[in-house]
Every structure is written in structure tokens, then in C-alpha cells.
Amino acid sequence: MIRVFIADDQAMVREGFGALLAAQPDMEIAGTAADGFAAVKEVERLHAAGAPPHVVLMDIRMPEMDGVEATRRILETYADLTRVLILTTFDLDEYVYSALRAGASGFLLKDAPAADLVNAVRVIHAGDGLLAPSVTRRLIADFARTRQGPLPGTPAALDTLTQREVEVFRLIASGQSNAEIAASLSVAEQTVKTHVGRILGKLQLRDRTQAVVLAYESGLVQPRISP
């Protein structure tokens, strides 16, 4: 069973999402919280009790502590067992960008169809990350464009990537799936999976979402100018 925790300051959202997900045969609601501070404390309690949530649905704008800081605190300690899916009203929100940098595995608009939410939880739980690639990529690119060059402290591990791994890294940042990368490079999909695993390992990244963030922020991929 996928244990889902819902953090949102609106009771109707918590109840609505909770009812939808609890009705799925492979999901159960681990708990809820109305603000970021309570979310962090409750997730800590669940981990201590041996029943950690697999996926946290995290609202961005909440009282006491926003979703960005709550995401950062949860993933600093529990990144190996818990993943965060950001819920937001706006698809171009700098808070979302900050949450992705803090380690969130993706984001979803609150008005997305119910089927998209259910699928998103399964995708995040499976460790794939990067939901709605074109939207996530645009969000990251838009904010990366405002920066003057690569961020200071870019991981030196980038220099350890082979030429083929850099090639695969760029294609990941473009939003391509493993199958699409395999077709682009004329190699087997299993070969691509191996490259992706090595890239994430060398760069100490959790998933493809973090890889996209780093690719843009490091300057390895240049944001395209929107028309």
C-alpha cells in the first residue's frame, strides 16, 4: 500500500483528496496537517512509529510554515523513504521552483483531473519524478533565465561525467523519457537506464526532477527564450 500524507490549509482540499486517494485499492491516508509545521511534526512521528508516509502532498502557501520549508525539513532527514509532491494553484510560482530545489519530486496543479492526481502519487512513489515534464521544465527554465550564469557551488561531480553521460543528462533535461533517449541515441533502453542511474549516483541526485534543476542551474542546458 502507498501511504499518502496530505498537508493543506483548506479542510475541503484535505478531505476531497483524502477521499479520492483512500478509494484507490493500492493507497491509504497516513495522516493530514493544516500547516507546514504540523506536517513536519506529524511526518516525524509517523517515521518514529515505523509507518512513514511514502508520498506527501504538500501545499505551498500555508500558515505557520510554508510548503517549501516543510519540504526541506522533511527531506533533509527522510529523503530515502518519503517523497514530496507539491500542490499549487499556479504553474509558474517561484515557491514551486524553490520546493523543487529543496528536493520535491514534482508538482501538480490543484485543479488537475482526479485521474492525474492518482497517477501522480503512483509515479512519485515509483521514484520516477518530474511530473508534467513540459510544465516543470518551463518553470525551471524561466527562473534559470533570470540568473547571471551558473550558480556558485556547482557540483564538481559534473566533471566526472563521461561524454555519453553528459549527452544523456542533456536529454533528461529536455524532458525525454528513457525510451525517447534510447531512440535518439540508437541504443537499448536498458543502456539508457544504466546511464541515468550512474548520472544520478555521481551527482548525488534523487530523481530526474533534481537532474533537470541542476542541468539548468549549472548552465549545462541553456533556457530557450519564450516567444
Q: What does the pLDDT average to over 45-72?
A: 92
Q: Is the CB of residue 103 less than 8 Å from the CB of residue 56?
A: no
The structure's pTM equals 0.77
CA nearest 102: which of 187, 158, 45, 40? 40
Whole-angstrom distance, CA of residue 69 vs CA of residue 95 = 10
The dihedral built from the CA positions of residue 217, 220, 224 and 225, taken in this order, carries a sign that is: positive
- Checking if the pLDDT of 226 tops 60, the result is no
**Tens of pLDDT, residues 129-169:** 655 656 666 767 776 666 555 554 456 778 889 999 999 99
Lowest mean pLDDT among 67-76, 84-93, 132-141, 149-158: 149-158
Name all domains of the chain by residue range, CATH numbers in brackets: 2-131 (3.40.50.2300), 150-217 (1.10.10.10)
